[in-house]
């Protein structure tokens, strides 16, 4: 029997011993810990010690009292001691106005006396889901604040080219608003960096930034990961889970590679965004969401406008502001700045002496097509800093994937260059996809897509 009990600490506060006894007999068959208390003065101290998950609170304790003032007072005192406390008032059928007032003051729900057992149990289970959702969100917010502090002054957006100045201007104008943003650009151009910069400059900067790689989500997990699920909703759903849309409430949700979402799942995402609520898998109760949405994709704009690939009503919803990141080959004047930046970064990281780039090497890197964009450049600099000899780096220190450097690459030539780069990287690493992806500055998912595209 004990194995089937739901792990939860339930505290019942009531001055009526018969009520306490009835509640204890019912609840101990369903929850791992059930305690009762007839003296409400103990409640604030118990709340400070987080001694319960759910508090069932009677609204009247003094003999003859029936206005609920006592209960509202204790409700406020408990929430002052523990703002995350989950409280369910016990009221008479005639006290619906009192129940509404209690919920306005922070109660999670209410139960009328005499209660129906199934109704009471269902309310408690829903309240437990709410409490765990709050706890997970609070933990993530705390973690996010730590990450913000730890990474303050971290990756910078670097560039003085006209194309990048246009991007910086768009970020500055979009960030203070709550507008949804769509970031377009090839892999490795820095789409996540733009998303984080928008969040950092927004009014939500003190809240969570959740990054979801939709390209890595299977179709079976899409709804569960984004919308959440209830325990028992499907095989292996042993615990309820809060979805990313709820976890990011009051913060920013970054959906990377949104162009990979199948059409039938795009409609579900659109519904959630339009209604600003989600219904977890296995639940019939919608839950509100409040997120700043930033999306990114490496799909070209013309493919996004193909209704067979992407729903146009969803596109309108997510691209209130559209930011296009240029590939590195279209901002070559920024390459020397990026090289110097990453050389300083890795010299500090690996406790090395600063290194310079020879003139022939700079010319070669400036004219290279960089199929992996800034991410590939960063990895190339890191590798050269580790393996290069001397304080002056030369061409031999940068074994680039394609030695036939061209100053201008057309779309068809770019495909040929990219295919050759992927093929050579796979051969260089004996078919090890993870190592080849790191070499090219790509994610494993992105490399698999390119392998499929080129039949490799």
Q: Which residues contact 51 (CB under 8 A, 6 or more apart)?
A: 9, 11, 35
pLDDT at 401: 63
- In 85-231, where do the E strands start and end? 86-92, 111-113, 181-184, 209-213, 228-229
- Is cis: bond before 327, omega within 30 of 0? no
Q: For residue 436, how far is the Cα from the chain centroid?
A: 27
pLDDT of 41-61, one tens digit each? 999 999 888 888 999 999 888
Task: For residues 296 and 387, state if they share a domain.
Answer: no
Residue 171 region by backbone torsions, left for phi larger than 0, else alpha for psi between -120 and 50, else beta? alpha
pLDDT of 301-313, one tens digit each? 888 999 989 999 9
Task: For residues 116 and 181, state if they share a domain.
Answer: no
Answer whether residue 144 is part of any domain: no
Full-model pTM: 0.60
Other C-beta atoms closer than 10 Å to the C-beta of 380 total 24
What CATH number is associated with residue 243? Answer: 3.40.50.300
Q: Does the pLDDT at position 90 exceed 80?
A: yes
Q: Of 283, 303, 324, which residue constitutes the final position of a domain? A: 324
Other C-beta atoms closer than 10 Å to the C-beta of 128 total 21
How much is the average pLDDT of 250-254? 94
Query: How many distinct structural domains can be found in the chain?
Result: 3
Task: For residues 23 and 43, state if they share a domain.
Answer: yes
Task: For residues 395 and 298, state if they share a domain.
Answer: no
How much is the average pLDDT of 432-446? 73
Task: For residues 285 and 405, state if they share a domain.
Answer: no
Answer whether residue 313 is part of any domain: yes
* Residue linked to tokens 């990048």: 164
pLDDT of 389-431, one tens digit each? 889 999 888 987 654 433 333 444 556 667 777 888 888 887 7
Range(s) of the domain holding residue 173: 153-324
Task: For residues 347 and 431, state if they share a domain.
Answer: yes
What is residue 242's three-state secondary structure?
strand
Q: Of 295, 324, 353, which residue constitutes the final position of a domain? A: 324
pLDDT of 190-238, one tens digit each? 999 999 999 999 999 988 899 998 877 777 788 888 998 887 777 676 7
């Amino acid at each position: 029997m004990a194995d089937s009990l739901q792990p939860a600490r339930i505290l019942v506060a009531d001055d009526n011993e018969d009520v306490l006894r009835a509640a204890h007999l019912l609840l101990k068959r369903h929850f791992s810990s059930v305690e009762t208390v007839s003296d409400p003065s103990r409640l604030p101290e118990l709340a400070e010690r987080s001694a319960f998950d759910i508090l069932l609170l009677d609204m009247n304790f003094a003999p003859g009292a029936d206005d609920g003032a006592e209960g509202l007072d204790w409700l406020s005192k408990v929430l002052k001691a523990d703002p995350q406390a989950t409280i369910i008032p016990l009221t008479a059928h005639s006290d619906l106005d009192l129940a509404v007032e209690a919920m306005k003051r922070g109660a999670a729900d209410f139960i009328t006396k005499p209660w129906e057992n199934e109704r009471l149990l269902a309310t408690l289970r829903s309240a437990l889901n709410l409490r765990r959702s709050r706890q997970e969100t609070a933990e993530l917010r705390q973690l996010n604040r730590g990450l913000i502090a730890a990474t303050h002054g971290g990756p910078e957006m670097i560039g003085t080219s006209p194309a990048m100045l246009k991007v910086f201007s768009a970020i500055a104008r979009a960030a203070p608003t709550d507008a949804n943003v769509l970031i377009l650009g090839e892999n490795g151009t820095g789409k996540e960096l733009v998303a984080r910069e928008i969040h950092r400059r927004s009014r939500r900067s003190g809240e969570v930034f959740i990054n979801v790689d939709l390209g890595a989500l299977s179709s079976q997990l899409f709804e569960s990961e984004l919308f959440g699920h209830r325990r028992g909703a499907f095989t292996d759903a042993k615990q309820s889970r809060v979805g990313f849309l709820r976890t990011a409430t009051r913060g920013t949700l970054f959906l990377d590679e949104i162009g990979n979402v199948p059409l039938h799942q795009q409609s579900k995402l659109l519904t959630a965004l339009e209604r600003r609520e989600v219904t977890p898998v296995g639940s019939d109760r919608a839950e509100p969401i409040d997120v700043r949405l930033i999306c990114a994709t490496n799909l070209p704009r013309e493919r996004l406008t193909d209704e067979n690939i992407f729903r146009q009503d969803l596109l309108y919803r997510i691209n209130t502001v559209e930011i296009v990141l240029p590939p590195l080959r279209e901002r070559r004047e920024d390459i020397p700045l990026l090289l110097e930046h990453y050389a300083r970064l890795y010299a500090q990281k690996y406790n090395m002496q600063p290194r310079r780039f020879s003139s022939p090497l700079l010319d070669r890197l400036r004219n290279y097509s960089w199929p992996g964009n800034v991410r590939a450049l960063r990895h190339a600099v890191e590798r050269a800093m580790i393996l290069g000899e001397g304080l002056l780096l030369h061409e031999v220190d940068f074994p680039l994937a394609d030695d036939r450097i061209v100053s201008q690459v057309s779309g068809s030539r770019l495909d040929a260059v990219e295919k050759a780069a992927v093929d050579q990287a796979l051969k260089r690493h004996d078919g090890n996809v993870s190592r080849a992806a790191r070499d090219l500055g790509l994610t494993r998912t992105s490399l698999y897509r390119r392998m499929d595209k080129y039949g490799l």
